[in-house]
């Protein structure tokens, strides 16, 4: 989108997505797309992030239940063309779209491997397919069929044959009516497929009657919300995009009058748009747009459509009060101290809570009334001292949206937030883990209200203001509205939490964890930059060595190893490692990690390429990035722990993302060596749950054999291998144990026979026998898997031991691939989610006990199933005792929980 908008400067734009679940084509043909591989997990995880980015870019996301994105595009293009006033461009390389091309609707085909853009109008489509009108593309596709969508077509007739038939007889119907003129095997093939031919045409036809209206105002290009984009890009470490946003924009030199600066910025932007309007662009003509019906996601805040569709500050009665005098501040503090519960929000100079400055605070006690309290630097300390009693009052409950951020900001000034915490972001996360938890999104969805866009205050682009440069009179409504909306969201969401029976889950796990994470983030972790510098030299030298080995094996020193196109041609055309190599939609060979792993053992170059990529990723993500993340004030790295990011309930981390540090390879272990204790008198202590997910499976399935193995403290993988093979524990080979270990963990993720065979590199028959042997041994596990799938199909969700829900929208899908993924999630979610809940409870218990005993030690990290603590040498034994006691007794399962504890000068030694 960025490149397209920058290059072509369209007046309107929108992005279409396929909605979750089946569509009308599945009703016509149950096997539609049934042969398509399951969507890679990376894409599933990335899609919500992509939508967040689009929202921040103010680009509408369009989805209509029951229809594919193709149908939405087709309908909008046809309605736009019918007006005679628009020329629409469909940005796609998919041949199916050729059927939609007309004088007012064209295909904008991105070139392969950067070879340039192709524009296909009527003439180009007809020339490419050898037909007289674009709609005949449907007939070609119907006869040819589509393997990826599982459209049957005519078996044995390919693209050339289908094109020839349509060129001669005009359509599928023409072919059927003229069968007597077709001879030989071609006629026989058509006759054998007659029953499916008309169905194939219906499946291949892009619908033009999706129930939505055409309104071009809905897709007017709007300035992006750069503040939100920065937040998203930083969270996911998109450094290239951050650079393009000009991340230093927040820190430009102050201007004397913030209001004037904003006015100048607005004028500058307007002038820029006028200048651009004179430039020649492919999209000079108006482009198709769409109206958003109830079935389509709404456009992001700030669009003209939202001002009509949602309530705003302009049309809702409200009372937002600025607090200026000491008397007014005293009144406010008394009001808050007397209130049982109130909402608050901070306004700061940046999104980094440990480096920003506090500009002011807003408070709300009742809906539609809120207070704005500026904190100018000259009086900030004095004001916060007066606010301390209200924040540190245990009897006052506090409401916030991502309240951990506000707590960290206030902690910079010695203010601790106490009392029960209601975080609307986390409450919504418990209600809908895979939804969007931003305040703006929830306000629109639950309150029908569109909050003030941040650009109204700080502008945009290279002249974007810092919040401290915006006059208090302008900030007031924006800031007060945040507190007001947060309060109203709490009042709306809290009854929903009670209805879902998730109040206890929030109160016992998520709420106390907020303070734990706040403390952990504030403490941070020490990084040995010298060690990383040496590691960088070693790894860069290794990269050069591997590059030379690859050039030798390829017999080509000119190949660009970082080019997927050149790599694909090398592997599949020159070396011919797979005659049936898969290609992307752009016609380029797939060379992703999964593809390369499937080629292991076929040529030594594959191992070298995988190692090369692994080192490059390690360098860019950790070795070179970690020193840049060190806070100059603390000389430590402060990762952010995300409490509402994963569907399973597990914590994630960002800036840096510590969850993905490879620990099996030597290079990855060296990264852990760089996480060190503060000084010679301190150490790192790490406590890791042993096989917690398998223990939870034993508890949930109540399988006697699995339970007994853990009760007897056997090596579970060796025990499984011995029982499947019918040998003693001492007779189990390393290979047998490896296979049993893969089966043990694979089964709880719903692994298939094919998946296990791929992972173990064994024939499917052997994998099938291994799975059968596993279920003979652990019959209770098989029963659990069937039971949980059936329960999910009946209720639409599964739950952890503690009642955390995972909703499964596709569990009853008619699409076998989609349904299969949902079934695997149904099996695994209670296990992963329960493990996450247990770990959170352990963190809370360990943190509380360290505080209770008034120890110096600090919890600094939580990664996977591991808690990491930094402590003085003098406290090592007491900390080990706390970890053993609290972690193993946090819950009573049918099997014992056990941990491994290590101590060292760095994380690697402790692990």
Residue 620: per-residue pLDDT? 81
Please report which residue ranges of 9-87 form alpha helices under DSSP H. Answer: 24-28, 41-56, 69-83
Tokens linked to 565: 């196109």
Q: Is residue 248 predicted with pLDDT exceeding 50? A: no
Mean local confidence (pLDDT), 286-307: 31
Residue 684: per-residue pLDDT? 98
| Phi, psi (rounded to 5 degrees) for 153 | 65, -155
Q: Is residue 268 predicted with pLDDT exceeding 70? A: no
Spatial strand order of the sheet with 682-689 comes to 858-863, 866-872, 682-689, 899-904
Pairwise CA distance, residues 606 & 550, whole Å:
9
Residue 160: per-residue pLDDT? 87
Mean local confidence (pLDDT), 455-474: 66
Tokens linked to 355: 């480096």
pLDDT per position as a tens digit, 853-902: 999 999 999 998 999 999 999 999 999 999 999 999 999 999 999 999 99
- Among the listed residues 858, 911, 906, the one whose alpha carbon sits nearest the alpha carbon of residue 882: 858
- Among the listed residues 129, 134, 159, the one whose alpha carbon sits nearest the alpha carbon of residue 146: 159
The radius of gyration computed from the CA coordinates of the chain, to the nearest angstrom, equals 30
Task: Please report, in angstroms and rounded to a whole number, the separation of the first and last CA atoms in the chain.
Answer: 43
Mean local confidence (pLDDT), 174-189: 86
Mean local confidence (pLDDT), 543-547: 93
Pairwise CA distance, residues 826 & 820, whole Å:
10
For residue 455, say if its preceding peptide bond is cis, omega within 30 degrees of 0.
Answer: no
Q: How far is CA 146 from CA 129, 159, 206, 818, in A?
A: 16, 10, 14, 19
Work out the pLDDT band at 27, boundaries 50, 70, 90: low
103: buried, middle or exposed (CB in 10 Å: 19+, 13-18, 0-12)? Answer: exposed
Lookup result for tokens 């693209």 = 159
Q: How far is CA 43 from CA 39, 239, 547, 551, 662, in A?
A: 7, 20, 30, 32, 21
Per-range mean pLDDT, top range of 46-50, 433-437, 727-731, 838-842: 838-842
- Among the listed residues 9, 119, 14, the one whose alpha carbon sits nearest the alpha carbon of residue 61: 14
Q: Is residue 706 predicted with pLDDT exceeding 70? A: yes
Mean local confidence (pLDDT), 193-208: 84
| Entry pTM | 0.67
Residue 39: per-residue pLDDT? 56
Percent of the chain with pLDDT over 90: 44
Residue 38 per-residue DSSP state? P
Q: Is residue 512 predicted with pLDDT exceeding 90? A: yes
CA within 13 Å, CB half, 437:
24
Work out the pLDDT band at 816, boundaries 50, 70, 90: confident
Mean local confidence (pLDDT), 716-730: 89
- Among the listed residues 765, 714, 768, 709, the one whose alpha carbon sits nearest the alpha carbon of residue 743: 768
| Phi, psi (rounded to 5 degrees) for 399 | -115, 135
Tokens linked to 424: 């609307």
Secondary structure (DSSP) of 219-271: GB-----HHHHHHHHHHTT-HHHHHHTTGGGGGSPP-S-HHHHHHHHHHHHHH
Residue 586: per-residue pLDDT? 64
Opening angle at CA 80, ends 27 and 297, nearest 5: 55
Pairwise CA distance, residues 847 & 391, whole Å:
21
Lookup result for tokens 């997990």 = 41
Pairwise CA distance, residues 29 & 510, whole Å:
45
Q: Which residues contact 757 (CB under 8 A, 6 or more apart)?
A: 763, 764, 766, 767
Q: Mark residue 724 as left, alpha or beta (left: phi above 0; alpha: psi -120 to 50; beta: remaining).
A: alpha
pLDDT per position as a tens digit, 564-619: 888 889 999 999 998 888 887 667 788 888 788 888 888 999 999 999 988 888 88
Q: Is residue 297 predicted with pLDDT exceeding 70? A: no
SS (H, E, C) 95-147: HHHHHHCECCEEEEECCHHHCCCEEECHHHHHHHHCCCCCCHHHHHHHHHCEC
Secondary structure (DSSP) of 363-383: EEEETTEEEEEE--TTTHHHH
Mean local confidence (pLDDT), 278-287: 34
Percent of the chain with pLDDT over 70: 87
Q: How far is CA 576 from the centre of its chain?
A: 35
Residue 42: per-residue pLDDT? 60
Work out the pLDDT band at 288, boundaries 50, 70, 90: very low
Q: Which residues contact 333 (CB under 8 A, 6 or more apart)?
A: 386, 387, 389, 390
Residue 32: per-residue pLDDT? 66
Mean local confidence (pLDDT), 113-140: 82
Lookup result for tokens 């994470």 = 517
Q: Is residue 285 predicted with pLDDT exceeding 90? A: no
Q: How many CB atoms lie within 10 A of CB 604?
A: 11
Give yes or no for a contact between 684 and 690, defined as CB atoms under 8 angstroms apart: no
pLDDT per position as a tens digit, 2-20: 777 777 778 888 888 887 7
Residue 621 per-residue DSSP state? I
Mean local confidence (pLDDT), 734-760: 84
Q: How many CB atoms lie within 10 A of CB 389?
A: 12
Mean local confidence (pLDDT), 352-362: 93
3 state DSSP class of 74:
helix
627: buried, middle or exposed (CB in 10 Å: 19+, 13-18, 0-12)? Answer: middle
3 state DSSP class of 85:
coil
Between 857 and 563, name the one with better pLDDT: 857
Between 491 and 464, name the one with better pLDDT: 491
Exposure b/e, 629-650, CB count within 10 A at least 16 = b: bbeeeeebbbbbbbbbbbbbbb
């Amino acid at each position: 989108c960025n490149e397209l908008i920058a290059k072509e400067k369209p007046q309107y734009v929108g992005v279409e997505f396929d909605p979750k679940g089946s569509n009308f084509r599945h009703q016509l043909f149950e096997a539609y797309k049934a042969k398509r591989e399951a969507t890679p997990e990376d894409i599933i995880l990335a899609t919500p992030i992509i939508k967040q980015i689009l929202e921040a870019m103010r680009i509408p996301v369009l989805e209509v239940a029951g229809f594919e994105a193709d149908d939405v595009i087709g309908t909008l293009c046809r309605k736009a063309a019918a007006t005679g006033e628009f020329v629409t461009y469909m940005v796609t390389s998919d041949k199916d779209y050729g059927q939609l091309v007309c004088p007012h609707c064209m295909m904008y085909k991105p070139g392969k491997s950067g070879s340039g853009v192709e524009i296909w109008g009527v003439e180009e489509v007809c020339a490419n397919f050898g037909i007289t009108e674009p709609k005949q593309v449907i007939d070609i596709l119907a006869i040819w069929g589509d393997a990826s969508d599982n459209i049957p077509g005519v078996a044995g007739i390919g693209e050339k044959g289908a094109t020839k038939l349509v060129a001669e007889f005009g359509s599928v119907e023409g072919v059927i009516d003229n069968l007597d003129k077709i001879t030989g095997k071609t006629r026989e093939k058509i006759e054998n497929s007659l029953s499916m031919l008309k169905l194939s045409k219906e499946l291949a036809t892009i619908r033009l009657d999706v129930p939505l209206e055409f309104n071009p105002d809905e897709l007017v290009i709007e300035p992006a919300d750069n503040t939100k984009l920065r937040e998203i890009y930083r969270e996911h470490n998109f450094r290239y995009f951050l650079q393009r946003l000009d991340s230093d924009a927040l820190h430009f030199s102050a201007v004397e009058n913030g209001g004037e600066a904003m006015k100048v910025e607005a004028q500058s932007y307007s002038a820029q748009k006028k200048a651009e309007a004179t430039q020649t662009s492919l999209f000079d003509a108006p482009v198709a747009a769409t109206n958003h019906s109830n079935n389509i996601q709404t456009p992001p805040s700030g669009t003209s459509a939202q001002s009509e569709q949602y309530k705003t500050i302009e049309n809702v009665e409200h009372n937002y009060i600025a607090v200026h005098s000491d008397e007014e501040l005293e009144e406010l503090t008394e009001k808050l101290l007397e209130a049982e519960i109130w909402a608050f929000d901070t306004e700061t100079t940046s999104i980094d809570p440990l480096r920003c400055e506090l500009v002011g605070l807003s408070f709300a006690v009742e809906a539609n009334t809120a207070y704005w309290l500026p904190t100018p630097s000259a009086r900030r300390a004095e004001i916060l001292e007066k606010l301390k009693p209200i924040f540190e009052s245990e009897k006052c409950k506090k409401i916030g949206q991502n309240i951990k951020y506000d707590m960290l900001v206030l902690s910079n000034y010695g203010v601790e937030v106490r009392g029960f915490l209601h975080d609307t972001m986390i409450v919504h996360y418990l209600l809908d883990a895979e939804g969007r938890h931003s305040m703006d999104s929830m306000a629109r969805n639950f309150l029908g209200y569109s909050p003030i866009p941040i650009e109204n205050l700080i502008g945009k682009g290279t002249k974007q203001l810092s919040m401290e440069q915006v006059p208090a009179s302008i900030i007031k409504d924006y800031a007060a509205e945040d507190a007001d909306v947060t309060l109203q969201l709490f009042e709306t969401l809290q009854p929903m939490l009670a209805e879902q029976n998730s109040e206890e889950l929030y109160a016992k796990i998520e709420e106390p964890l907020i303070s734990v994470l706040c403390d952990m983030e504030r403490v941070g972790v020490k990084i040995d930059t010298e060690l990383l510098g040496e590691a960088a030299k070693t790894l860069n030298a290794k990269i050069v060595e591997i590059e030379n080995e690859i050039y030798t094996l390829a017999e080509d020193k000119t190949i660009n190893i970082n080019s997927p196109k050149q790599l694909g041609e090398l592997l599949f055309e020159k070396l011919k490692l797979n005659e049936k190599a898969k290609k992307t939609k752009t016609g380029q060979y797939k060379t992703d990690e999964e593809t390369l792993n499937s080629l292991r053992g076929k040529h030594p170059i594959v191992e070298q390429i995988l190692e090369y990529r692994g080192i490059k990723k390690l360098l860019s993500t950790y070795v070179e990035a970690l020193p840049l993340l060190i806070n100059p004030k603390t000389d430590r790295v402060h990762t952010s722990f995300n409490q509402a990011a994963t569907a399973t309930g597990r914590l994630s981390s960002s800036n840096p993302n510590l969850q993905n540090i490879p620990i099996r390879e030597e290079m990855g272990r060296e990264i852990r060596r760089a996480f060190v204790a503060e000084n010679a008198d301190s150490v790192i202590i790490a406590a890791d749950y042993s096989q917690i997910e398998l223990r939870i499976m034993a508890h949930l399935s109540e399988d006697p054999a699995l339970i007994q193995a853990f009760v007897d403290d056997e090596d579970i993988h060796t025990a499984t291998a011995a029982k499947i093979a019918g040998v003693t524990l001492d007779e189990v080979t390393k290979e047998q144990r490896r296979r049993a270990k893969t089966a043990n963990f694979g089964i709880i993720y719903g692994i298939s026979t094919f998946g296990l065979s791929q992972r173990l590199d064994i024939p499917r028959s052997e994998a099938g026998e291994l799975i059968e042997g596993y279920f003979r041994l652990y019959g209770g596990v098989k029963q659990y898997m069937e039971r949980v799938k059936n329960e999910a199909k009946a209720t639409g969700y599964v739950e952890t031991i503690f009642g955390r829900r995972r909703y499964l929208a596709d569990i009853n899908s008619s699409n076998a691939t989609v349904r299969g993924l949902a079934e695997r999630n149904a099996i695994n979610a209670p296990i992963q989610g329960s493990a996450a809940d247990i770990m959170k409870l352990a963190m809370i218990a360990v943190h509380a006990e360290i505080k209770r005993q008034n120890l110096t030690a600090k919890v600094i990290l939580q990664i996977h199933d591991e808690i990491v603590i930094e402590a003085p040498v003098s406290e090592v034994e007491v900390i080990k005792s706390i970890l053993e006691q609290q972690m193993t007794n946090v819950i009573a399962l049918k099997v014992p929980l056990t941990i491994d504890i290590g101590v060292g000068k760095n994380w690697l030694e402790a692990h």
